[in-house]
Amino acid sequence: MSLLAVTRRDLRLARRRQVESLLPLGFFVVAAGLFPIGVGPEPQTLRQIGAGVVWVCALLAAMLSVTQMFASDYQDGSLEQMLLAPGSLAEIVIAKVFAHWLTTGLPLVVATPLLGLLFGMAAPAIGMLALTLLLGTPILSLLGAFGAALTLGLRSGAALVFLIVLPLTVPALIFGTGAVGAVDGGQSAQAQLSLLAALLIITFLGAPWATAAALRISLE
Partner 1 sequence: MNAATLTWATYAAPSRFYTLAGRLIPWCWAVTAEFCLAGLWVGFAIAPTDFQQGEAYRIIFIHVPAAWLSMLIYLVMAFWAAWGWMLNARMASMYARALAPTGVLFTFLALWTGALWGKPTWGAWWVWDARLTSEFILLLLYLGYIALTEAIDDPRRAANAGALLALVGAVNVPVIYFSVRWWNTLHQGATISLTTAPKMASTMLTAMLLMTIGFWAYSFAVVFARARAIVLEQESEAEWVRTLATGAEKS
150 is a contact residue toward partner 1 (CB under 8 A): yes
C-alpha pair distances (Å), 11 with each of 74, 84, 141, 164, 169: 17, 23, 15, 26, 25
Nearest approach in angstroms of CB 164 to partner 1 is 4
- Binding of partner 1 by 171 (CB under 8 A): yes
- The residues, any chain, with a CB within 8 Å of residue 160's CB and separated by 6 or more, are 147, 150, 151, 154
Q: Which window, 38-46, 49-57, 112-120, 147-155, contacts partner 1 (CB under 8 A)? A: 147-155
Task: Give the residue from 46, 22, 45 showing the smallest Cα distance to 32.
Answer: 46
If one counts every other C-beta atom within 10 angstroms of the C-beta of residue 142, the result is 26
Residue 154 near partner 1 by CB under 8 A: yes
Q: Is 35 in the site for partner 1 (CB under 8 A)?
A: no
Q: Which of 93, 166, 180, 193 binds partner 1 (CB under 8 A)?
A: 166
- Residues making contact with partner 1 (CB under 8 A): 146, 150-151, 154-157, 160, 163-164, 166-168, 170-171, 174-175, 178, 181, 195, 199, 206, 210, 213-214, 217-218, 220
